[in-house]
Structure 1
Amino acid sequence: MSVGPISETGGPENREKWRTDLRDVNVRVWLEGPAPAPTSLDSSLRRNSAFIKRLKQPNLSESKAQILQELACLNLRKYLDELVPSLPEILWRNTSLKDRYAAVEILSALHVKFGGDEFTKPFMSALAQELVPAATVFEGSAEQAQKEEANRTARHRTLARIVTELVLVGFVGPLDKQDVLRHGLEWLFGILRSLLAQDRDHIYTSLVQGLLRSYGSILLASVPEHEAGQPWMTVGDSSPSPTALVSEEWQTKFRRLFETYYVTLTRHASRLHASLQKQAQRNRDAYIRHGEVFEDRQAKFERQAKETKTLMESTQAISVMLQVHGLDLPDPQNEPVQKQGLLLGAKSTLAEMSARTEQEFASGKSPWEDEETRNFYTDVCDLRAHVPPSLLAGGAQGDDPKKASTETEELSSLTSLLDRLPLLGNREMVDQLAIELAFYTKPATRKRLVERLLSVPKQRWDLVPYYARLIATLHPYMPLLVDSVVEQVDQRLRRMSLRSKMDAQTRGQAIVYLGELTKFGLVPEHIVFHMFSRLLDDFGRVSLEMLALLLETCGRYLYRMPATNAPMQNVLDQMRRKRAAHHLEEHHGLLLDNAYFKCVPPEYPVVVHRTLSIKEQFVVHLFEEKLTEMKMDRISQLVRALDWQDASMEDLLFDMFTSPWRVRYEGVRVLADLLRVLHSWHAPFVVRVLDRVVEGIDTDLSRTDYMAGQQRVARVRYLGELFQCQLIPPEAVLDQLWRLVVRRVHRPDRYDDFTRVRLVCTLLQTCGEAFSAHPWRKRMDDFLAAFQYYLLAKPMPPVDVAYQVEQTLDQLRPRRSRHPSKAALAQRLDKILPLFYQRDLTSIVAGLVKTGGTEHRPGNDESDSEIPRDLRDEWASSGDESDSQDGTDSLYASEGEPASASDNELDPEAALDEQADDELEHELALLMAEANAAPGWLSGGGSTLERTRQALSGASVPPRPPPAAPTVSSPDFMTFSLLSRKATKEIQVPAAASISVRARQQQEQEAAERQQLKAYVLAYRDREEGSRAT
């Protein structure tokens, strides 16, 4: 695609030729389709991702040529799903005219490359979704809502201009051969009508002005001045050009749309004007009754007057561009109401100037960071409301040497006021001091005041803004004061530039002083920009620090104000170029970068939060506010009546059931009881919830984030309540308790962290009393011994943790004394700990041994010879009890379903999965580490682990058994060898099982690797023999 260049300063003929060239290319693509893509296009991820990243950067006009060149060489077909949704954001970030032209050319190139069906239609759908009005009211403060509304209006204003340009170049399709722009104009008309029809507050006046200013001559026909809303045929003799791009029919529709919006705008302006007049009358009445107008009433009047004035100016501009009669209403600011010397509608000169320039700034971005900062620099106190006019008039006169002798008497009373300067801390104190200083308007007073204002104490840079506000307040009545301060600050900075070793505090204060006075509009432009020029020319170490400080102080103000935007942009561009050309230190580079982004802060996309539906809000309300024991039956009926087929509703319920911290703490038990009720109807859902709760506890042990402490405690208590509701077996609770007090490599546990102690106490207080019966009492006693040893391995716990531990132990074993020392606990753990490890290590292969016809017990293996007999008997009886409750455990998994014979059979895939292997390796590594290292849990070197290690190291290796005759396996089964301590057992696994398929694939891969290695060796040998023969 090749079109002529277009520039921002080009005339209408140049722009029309540019549109014609693009339109011809786009129409050809719509009618004939895109050209076939060459096969040599680059599809690499790196280059395509770099292209998309470059496209997302601002200032497209500068990189347009490179983007178009890369677009012709890349194959972006696989990346369209990522590129298309991000294009609207790219477009509204490029606000300048030349950037919009560059964006249109790039979009046309993408249209030519991929065609309308593959690229253009999805992009127009994404663009139409971005140009829809706000569907809901913004939930937040009024200031946040106003900011959100301003951002959305700015985005729509930029996108509307780009969309109009795309329609004019034939980008929107499909096309009609008789009227190529018909479909695009219809699409544009629908978008504008949806935006303007819902604009009751008329926030899109800037959007309408921008469209009429840029494209009014194309979308609207030239007609004589008439009344808004007058029918087209009665307007006058309007004869559109036969070569007009937009037909007369569409010109009529667009004119009717804009004139209808203008009529509603005039009605809104009339209502605001009437309301302003009523407010002014109420202010006059309040002044008569009370002798003054309160600050809140005056502030409301000024804000309403400002809004009315802005709306009137917009109305007047739109009426001129539409060629309709304007609305002739008097400006409230031109009718000030005076009563006994008080000017109700008066505002200071600086405040008027700031309000006007802020409204006239085309970008819509305020030069102030927030509303409070804007009020500080623009809402300056008017001294005429507090000081007699005769005294204020005397302050503007020049020096009179004849009266200098009579002014010395006032200096003594002035000293007490000047001593209050270092005590300034807010706007009210500054305004009060300005009012008191206004009574001292003699020349000698002014000289004394200049000296004190320039002598800012060191390390008190926070006083400089207050001093500048004081000067701005006195400026209308003491103009020579500002001249003296600005002149001396400028001279001080000129001297400092020649003395680089001057005190940094003094130099910084002077720069900040100049910047603060600039934000009040007291420094001439040539002075501050001359300072920028000098600092950029020098660009040394001292100049860099001064430049960064000056930019941070007043750079944003100068960049946002329309009068100084262009020269400030030149300053920033020059600074960026020098920053890139020089090799600066890291400190100086960060200073310049921070100063630049302080002036031009980056724009962040608006985060759109998902809004819950009415049903979802009702569910959240039930769980978070209404979940109590008295209402549990009714809530269970409502939850069962929900649409469980809806995936979003099921996900919400899953999130509520797995987030016990979202309900009240006393409602956790009710939440577990509600899950128990749902088990009969939605068993798979309940199993998912239980798995997520257990996984969440394991995840909590792997992180040490104190922000999630409440979630950890709630999840552990939820586990205990689930056990009380018989949704999980006792083994799961005991295993979880054991995992809480045993160290693991992937579960950090700091020496002074008592998070696990709190979790253990919470779980024991919730369901610990259920383990006081015969089958589980011995195992709970063993765990309590391990828990007390875990406590002794840590430092002295805090008071709350110690109290919680004491209360927990008293609740479980009120009549049992604590273990007196660490040595006594070590002797007991020397007998218990190997049994815990033995039970943990053999849990994976217990089912495998059981399938061979022999029932496995912890006391049946030869490895249990080191365990005392009483403990073996206790654990054996515990195992019998566990086996006797298989029917109960099956109810936890699938209540209401009969147990089949296949449930008791072996599942080799589950027994030998990767997770079990990893857990086994971790346990073995931990066991060997604790056996070889210094005693951590156990004391003394003669522990069972040490004796086991020595026995294993000294044992002889048994002779290799004779090779057995190969067994002929059926093709439907695959033979696996299970290694145990007694013997090697062979297991027949079905060939269709996933473990058999993986094993067979691994064998085939190894065979192929061996064949390939053999071929490499033979080829190498052939080459060696050939080289020797030659």
Structure 2
Amino acid sequence: MTDWPRLADRQWVQETNKRVKAQETHRSSLVGVESTDENALHSLDSTLKKTTAFMKKLKSLSAASIPSLIEELSRLNLSKFVEEMAAGITETKLKPSDVIPIVDLCVAIASRYPKFSELILTEIKKCLPLKRADKISNPAKLRIDVRLLCELILCGVVGKEGLQTLGATLSYICITDKGEHLNVGLICSLCRPVGWQIAGIVPSPEGNEGVSIEQGDLEMSEAITPEHRKVVNDLFTNYHTGLIRHLEKACAVMNVVQKKVKRHERTRGDATVEEKAELETARAEYERLKALASELSSALGVQMVELKEEPSDNEEDEMAAMEMDKALAEGHVSLWPDDESRLFYENLIDIRNIVPRSLYKESEERTIQENELKTSVDDIDVDGLEAEPAEREGDVDVGEKEENAAELDRPKTPPSPAQFNEDMTSATDASMITSEEIKQLAQKFFLNLDHLVNRDTTDQCALDFVSNLNTKSYRKKLIKVLYGVPSSRLDLLPFYARLVASLSPVMPDLTTELSTMLIKQFREFVQRCGQERVEEKIKCVMFIGELVKFGVIPRAEALSCLRQLVYDFRGHSVDMVCAMIETAGFYLYRNSDSHPKMKIILDVVQKKKERIKDVRHVMLIDNAFFACIPPADSAAARRAQAEPPLMIFIRHLIVDINEHNVNTNIKCIRRLAWDDETVASWCLKYLTSPWLLPYSNLLHLASAVAGLQGLTYYDWISTYVIDACQEMIRISLEVPGLFNQKAIASACYLGELYNYSVCDTPVIYKVLYQIISFPETDPLAWQEFYRVRMVCELLNTIADFFQTGRARRKMDYFLTYFHRFYWMKREQWKVNVVMVEMPGAEEAGDNAVIEPPRFPADVEAEYRECMRHMRKSAPLPKDLAEAENAVEQIEQQLKEKLALASGSADEEEEEEDERKVLDRTLHEIAEEDGEEYGSDSERPPAIIAEDDADEKVCVHVEKPVIQPEDEEFMRQLDRMLADQVKVVPQQTSVAAAANPSVDMTVPAAVRNRFQRQICFEDSPGGSKNAAENSKPSMKVSLMARGKGNKLVLKTVSIEESALHEAWKKEREREEVERADIKRVTLGHTARIFAEEEQEMRQQIYSHSRFN
């Protein structure tokens, strides 16, 4: 309605411009009027005869008498009759043509008597409906009053208060008339004369002689602001939209009735009188609404919508039903998927021929009225299911609401489920047999109901109940047990339905009560969306579907249930539709009478699936669709697409791994042909797919990878698995919404790998910081919290290893940034959800207080639980500002440490140079051949001082760590030297030869000097002689006895030989073996700890369950 240029009537344009100029003239004449000029009034005629005559003329106003009244007004003093003049003008019966002259008279009176404006507005308010409780008693007078009020506002007689009164009146007219649309004529009477001034409306030309006009071709009144015009325009537009919706609904109702009448005329020859009368009523309502919509569309200047009055005949549906019936008759298709199902649902036990009639004579008679379920498939209307419901409370159409309301007036209907349960718990039947044998049989029977697993046991239960327990009280108890089947035992529903179908011929009341209770429960679930668990809803629709397949509940009722669910296809309705289609969809699709309707419902479900974003719901819809219409693929094609047996075996080894078979599976995986690229690719595919395993088995898969890492030729597998996990997390961040579950599983898997020492701490920190720092490009990312969930899952997995020391400090840094990330996401959600999901004021009501939506409780609970696991006593930030301050403090501390480290860099370089000089001086210390010193007391003072200096220098040098192998080597060297000393010449004294075990102990000072030489031997600052000698050699100090039986330490250079190389290789082999034993031992220890913990949990669970 704001597009220019527009088509308009030329005469209307001229009249509108003329009228706007006249209104502006009146406004300018009233601008200077502030108070009454008393001197001027005293000079006028105020005789009672003339003033009384004037007031009589005023009460019988007409367009012809107004000019004379205006002339007399200028000669009379009517200051005492201002209130009577205002009341007389508003009470006079006026015609639409009298409004403009009346407005001229009001302008003349207001220019002479300023208080007239307030008085006439008060009188007009008395005639206008301003509250919702007001009623319109005289619509014709209301048209004149609203038109008069608009003209008075535009001419300046009434000001801002009058504009508020007009807004309240128009709001009442448009908002309170959404159902009947009785005020269309009133709105149309305003749009043509004053629609442009008050709402910017250009009416459509009445004939074909319209002219194109621009916005500047029309004069605009300054009495109403553009904002007020927009408000009035929106009111009229919304009213017009509601009328069009009402018209479309009436058209749909008429089409349905007309389709039914035509179908009956084609199939039966003629329709009933009631159906024809219903069609005439629907057509009359449609014609009335169409005329009103056409009139209002012309007045508002919008194009009238085109509606299809004549619906297409239902010939296509009839042809489809005939084709299905022919295919069933010829045997091309079957009503059941296999022979076993056909026998289960069709071959029921005939209790009448097995049990004597005396046992079921009482229960065979129907004592309650049969439930009024829909039995005709033709009565189910599946048209209009593709449209989205306008309002939540309008999910069920008017016919269904009337039907539900009419159920309250039915005579002696079965009780509701709640009332039934109360009656069962409170009532006691006098006919209850008190025999202990009967009680035992009843107890055994009801216990056996939980173990119905085949047809034979179900049929035997039916026979036992009819033979032994066929009393009123036990029949009620059986209904209660069947109705209250647990939602976790959905496998019992087919057998319970077979039991009910078997008992139906001899116990019609049981069938009637149970089916009525289920249908009522279903309707309660549909009307009260989201208040019950979805498991109960799924159980209800599956039970109804099973009873439909046995013929206990008509197929038309099942189609009606599906229609109600598909109409509002969202939330739990999706789960209920999928469960019902999987249960009875195949049966309804293959029946000739329900096939056309079921086909339409399936098509609508497929179309509405495109609007669903939940991956789980999409998967459920696909499964239900293919369960109803299986794909027509051949057995050969399925065999061609079958997986190789070796691939299935590999998937079994990895996917089915648990605490009991982890060691066996590791051995089998190790023995696979890893040199084959196909086998290796299969193994790596499943080793890097943690989402295929249950969450509790991820630690066992990580244990298997750790076990493979400890083997010599399989250590590369762990690196591949870690890279794959990181890659999946990275992909989920780059393409959000597609791999969220896989990424969360990969994060948990990576944490378990860290627990088994497969990956290092830097990998964990890299992933954590990547998750919270990767940029979000999706504009709807504020709705997703999978990053928070991913971080929480990873932290919960690795929390025990970051509680002390340096790891705890680094983790505290990350948690500070994670707190900020969490509160940033929370603030984004808070800002966006207010703009997107906040309900409007009109929907909430006038006095309703609109509360903003609450942050998702599951995300907040997971975050707080993770923080309690990581830091039990640490306080959490309460808002984003507090989290930002914590990050700033951490960064400031790190900057200060970095500044201190950079300031001491020069000092460290100087110390490093001093160390190099000291290294060179220490290398120059060498023992001379023939040097003999037994102890420090026998050495020269210079050398002792030099040793002291060396000891002082060593304070600045890192003390070498002597390995156990080096100590063993020193002991062997001492023993070898001792053996060499024992071999002396024959000239040695008898006393010396008599001592077979000479104990030679290396002095402490010599040992220290020897250790310093070995420690600095390989440093870069060696002497020139050592650098010139390029031939590799190893210096060894030998201790012997010199003159006077004194110890002599000599340095000998030994070249590398085969003995030295063999010793070196043996040492490397021992190190590798020791590392392998260490890894295997740690892996076994972790697995034993996990097994003990699992056994403890099972014992606790068993003990608690037993108690």
**TM bucket by the smaller chain?**
under 0.3
Q: Normalising by structure 1, what TM-score?
A: 0.26
Q: Normalising by structure 2, what TM-score?
A: 0.25
- By relative contact order (CA 8 Å, sep 6+), the higher-ranking structure is 2
Q: Which has the larger radius of gyration?
A: 2
